[in-house]
Amino acid sequence: MKKKFKRYAAIAGVVLLLAVFCLPMVFAFGSSGESQTLFRGALAAAFLVPVLAYIILMVYQMLNKRKPQQEEERMIENIIFDVGQVLMAFEWEKYLKGFGFSEEKYEKIADATFRSSVWDERDRGCFEEEEYLRQFCALAPEYEADIREVLRRSDETLSCFPYSKTWTQYLKSQGYHLYILSNYSDYMLRKTRKDMSFLKYMDGVVFSCEVKELKPEEGIYRKLLDTYHLDPDKSVFLDDRAANCEGARKLGIHAIQFESFKQAAAELEKYGVK
- Is-contact 132 118, C-beta < 8 A? yes
pLDDT band at 121, cuts 50/70/90?
very high
* Lowest pLDDT segment from 4-13, 14-23, 95-104, 224-233: 14-23
Q: What is the mean pLDDT of residues 152-174?
A: 98
Name the pTM for this structure: 0.74
**E strand or H helix at 236, and its extent?**
strand 235-239
What pLDDT shows up at residue 69?
46
Q: How far apart are the C-alpha atoms of 47 and 35, rounded to whole Å?
A: 19
What pLDDT shows up at residue 61?
67
Distances (CA, A) of 244 to 32, 61, 118: 84, 41, 18
Torsion of CA 138, 139, 141, 144, to 10 degrees: -90
Report the half-sphere exposure of 175 (CA within 13 A, side-chain side): 15
Q: What is the mean pLDDT of residues 12-36?
A: 54
What pLDDT shows up at residue 74?
79
- Look at 11 and 268; give whichever has higher pLDDT: 268
Q: How far apart are the C-alpha atoms of 92 and 160, rounded to whole Å?
A: 14
